[in-house]
Amino acid sequence: MQLALAALVKMRPLTAIQTPDDIHLLSRQASPTAARRSRPSDPETQVGAANDAARIQPEDAGFQNAIQRYAFSEGALFQIYAKPGQVTDIALQEGEQLVGPGPVAAGDTVRWMIGDTLSGSGSTQRVHILVKPTRADITTNLVINTDRRTYHVELRANARVYMASVSWFYPEDELIALRRAEAEAVRTAPIADGFTIENLNFDYRISGDKPDWRPLRVFDDGQRTLVEFPPDIAQGEMPPFFVIGEEGEAELVNYRVNGRYLIVDRLFHKAELRLGAGRRQVRVKITNRARSE
């Protein structure tokens, strides 16, 4: 295919997509109740309504100079407006790579010039899809497959305006990165200030019941006692902490939590972690063997 855009980038052959006149829904997962409630009309109307709802238009708040930055959402139909004689740059995420034998597929490869190129290098390298219509009254769709996601784009040509550049930001990726950073901060944060390694005492015995939250170890520095729980204790329930007196009485004491560590600002000979009540109560006993009765 001879394209004027080939002068700008090395072209990649594209696969034309044949669109049937009649749209058939291959499968539809819905409960009988939902089907009765929605009273579905003909399939064409349903598909049209779904596509209308999925379309995301450019907004003023999304522009950074001439770059429209969409929030990526799986299954959304991102709208891109183009103009004959002008190239629109579709920039993917840094480090994202095209995959598969036909990673960029367009419905109309005759009246649209479409190619791809690269910018940057290493971890900052970016794939750019360049598109240009040959007429002002045409539309088509574009599917871009990468090693991270699939983009669905609708290209709309007109005679008046064009979008110079389109890119995305990725809320889901940012949320995952934030959670990882928070988890790493908790993992690497100091448990408490002022600990001296020479004063640490690990001579504790853990006995009693064996719930999922059973402590892994207990130690103290001569002033404070730390109880280390399994890594997933943050998603569970931190049990109350009782110090057992000389007469066997249980005293509920104050403590603080740092990640998966329970910190008690005192020493003791015996203590218990209790969760629940009655015959279903779970008890884990902790004995400081370095301290006498």
DSSP letters along 114-135, please? EEEEEES-GGG-EEEEEEEESS
pLDDT for 91 equals 98
Whether the pLDDT of residue 124 is over 90: the answer is: yes
Whether the pLDDT of residue 255 is over 60: the answer is: yes
Nearest to 153 by CA among 129, 121, 172, 177: 129
Q: What percent of the chain has pLDDT over 70?
A: 79
Whether the pLDDT of residue 276 is over 70: the answer is: yes
Task: For residue range 105-119, list pLDDT tens digits in order.
Answer: 999 999 999 999 999
- Whole-model pTM: value is 0.54
pLDDT for 15 equals 43
pLDDT for 192 equals 60
* Confidence band for 181, pLDDT divided at 50, 70 and 90: confident
Largest separation between any pair of C-alpha atoms in the chain:
94
pLDDT for 246 equals 86
Per the prediction, the chain carries an average pLDDT of 83
Whether the pLDDT of residue 24 is over 60: the answer is: no
Angstrom distance (rounded) from CA 274 to CA 240: 6
Mean pLDDT confidence for 40-58: 92
Whether the pLDDT of residue 148 is over 50: the answer is: yes
Q: Cα angle at 142 between 147 and 170, to 5 degrees?
A: 45
Which of 131-145, 153-167, 191-205 bottoms out in mean pLDDT, i.e. has the lowest?
191-205
Whether the pLDDT of residue 10 is over 50: the answer is: no
**Order of all β-strands in the sheet with 63-64:** 63-64, 67-71, 165-169, 88-91, 126-133, 112-119
Judged on CB neighbours under 10 Å (0-12, 13-18, 19+), 68 is buried
Whether the pLDDT of residue 16 is over 50: the answer is: no
Question: Residues 232, 271: contact at Cβ < 8 Å?
Answer: no
pLDDT for 17 equals 41
Q: Checking DSSP bridges between strand 165-169 and strand 88-91, what pairing results, if any?
A: parallel
Nearest to 207 by CA among 271, 277, 260: 271
Residue 132 amino acid letter:
K
